[in-house]
C-alpha cells in the first residue's frame, strides 16, 4: 500500500479528525516504528508501519459510524467540557466506538448535528470550501422589514473571534410564520461561529430560538435528545455534498413543512430507528 500522510492515516482510523490529528503530531504524541514524528509532511504505510498515538498502537481503520442527533438546548458541542456542562456525547453513550461532532451548535441552539468517526468526511464537511448548505428555523425579536432581509440575503459584515470582521456569503431567507416575533427559514453555506445569531444582530434583531433542520442532504427527523444511524445512501449523498458536486434529482424538502411538524406537533413518539438515552 502506498505511503500516506500521517494525519490522514490517524483520521481514517477514527482516532481524531484530520485537524486534531495534525495537533497530535505537532505535539509529539505520535510515533512511527518507535521514532517520534512531529512534521506534518511525514508519511507512513498503515499496512507495514507501526504507528502509535499516545503510546497506543494504531490498528486497521474502524468501521465508520455516522449518527444524526437532534441536539436539545442546554448541551455543548464538544467531547469534553472543562466547565463540566452536559455535552452532546452524553446523548450518544450507547453508540459503539468513538464518534465526535462535525462542526458545532452552541449551548442554546437546537437541531441536527452529525457525529462520526470518519475523519476524512468530517474534515471535508467542515471546510468552508465545501459550501454544504445548512438550513435553520429561527425565531427573532421584532419583525425585520424587507430591507433588512435583503441585506442578510446579500451578506453582512460580522465580527469573528479577535474582532476581525468578515462578510457572510449570500443567504436564503424566507418568512414561515408571521407575528410580533416571527419565524424565518435561513439557509447558509458557511459555518462560522454563531453566524446566524450575529447576522440578525447586525440588522438589529436578537435571535430568540434557533433550530437546525437540514444539513446538506440530511433532514432533522428524530425527537430532541434522540439519534439514529445514517443509511448508506445518506452517507453517499453527504460525500457528494462535501465534494462540492451538485447531485441531480429533487431538492431537499422545505423547512416550512418541518417547522409545522416540529412547532405544531411537538410529540414524536414511536419514530422508527431512533434512540433516547
Q: Which residues are catalytic?
A: 106
Cα distance between residue 113 and residue 107, in whole Å: 13
CB contact at 8 A, 219 and 261 = no
SS3 content of the chain, % helix, strand, coil (to 5): 25, 25, 50
Residue 103, C-alpha cell as written in the block: 462542526
CB contact at 8 A, 119 and 11 = yes
Cα distances (angstroms) measured from residue 137 to each of 71, 86, 148, 184, 255:
14, 24, 17, 6, 7
CA angle 109, 115, 117 (to 5 degrees): 155
Cα distance between residue 183 and residue 180, in whole Å: 10
User: 190 in helix, strand or coil?
Assistant: coil
CB contact at 8 A, 64 and 50 = no
Closest CA to 4 of 30, 43, 34, 36: 43
Amino acid at each position: 500500500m502506498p505511503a500516506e500522510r500521517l494525519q490522514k492515516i490517524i483520521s481514517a482510523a477514527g482516532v481524531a479528525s484530520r485537524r486534531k490529528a495534525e495537533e497530535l503530531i505537532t505535539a509529539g504524541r505520535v510515533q512511527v516504528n518507535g521514532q517520534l514524528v512531529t512534521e506534518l509532511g511525514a508519511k507512513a504505510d498503515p499496512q507495514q508501519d507501526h504507528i502509535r498515538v499516545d503510546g497506543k498502537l494504531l490498528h486497521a481503520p474502524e468501521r465508520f459510524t455516522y449518527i444524526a442527533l437532534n441536539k436539545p438546548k442546554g448541551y455543548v458541542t464538544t467531547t469534553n467540557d472543562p466547565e463540566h456542562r452536559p455535552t452532546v456525547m452524553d446523548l450518544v453513550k450507547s453508540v459503539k466506538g468513538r464518534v465526535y461532532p462535525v462542526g458545532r451548535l452552541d449551548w442554546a441552539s437546537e437541531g441536527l448535528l452529525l457525529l462520526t468517526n470518519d475523519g476524512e468526511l468530517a474534515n471535508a464537511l467542515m471546510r468552508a470550501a465545501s459550501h454544504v448548505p445548512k438550513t435553520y428555523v429561527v425565531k427573532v425579536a421584532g419583525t425585520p422589514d424587507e430591507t433588512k432581509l435583503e441585506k442578510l440575503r446579500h451578506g453582512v459584515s460580522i465580527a469573528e473571534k479577535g474582532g476581525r470582521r468578515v462578510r457572510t456569503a449570500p443567504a436564503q431567507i424566507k418568512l414561515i410564520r408571521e407575528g410580533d416575533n416571527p419565524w424565518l427559514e435561513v439557509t447558509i453555506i458557511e459555518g462560522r461561529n454563531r453566524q446566524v445569531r450575529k447576522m440578525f444582530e447586525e440588522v438589529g434583531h436578537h435571535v430568540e430560538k434557533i433550530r437546525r433542520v437540514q444539513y446538506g442532504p440530511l433532514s432533522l427527523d428524530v425527537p430532541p435528545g434522540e439519534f439514529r444511524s445514517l443509511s448508506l445512501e445518506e452517507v453517499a449523498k453527504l460525500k457528494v455534498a462535501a465534494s462540492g458536486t451538485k447531485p441531480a434529482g429533487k431538492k431537499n424538502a422545505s423547512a416550512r413543512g418541518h417547522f409545522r411538524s416540529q412547532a405544531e406537533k411537538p410529540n414524536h413518539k414511536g419514530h422508527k430507528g431512533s434512540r433516547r438515552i
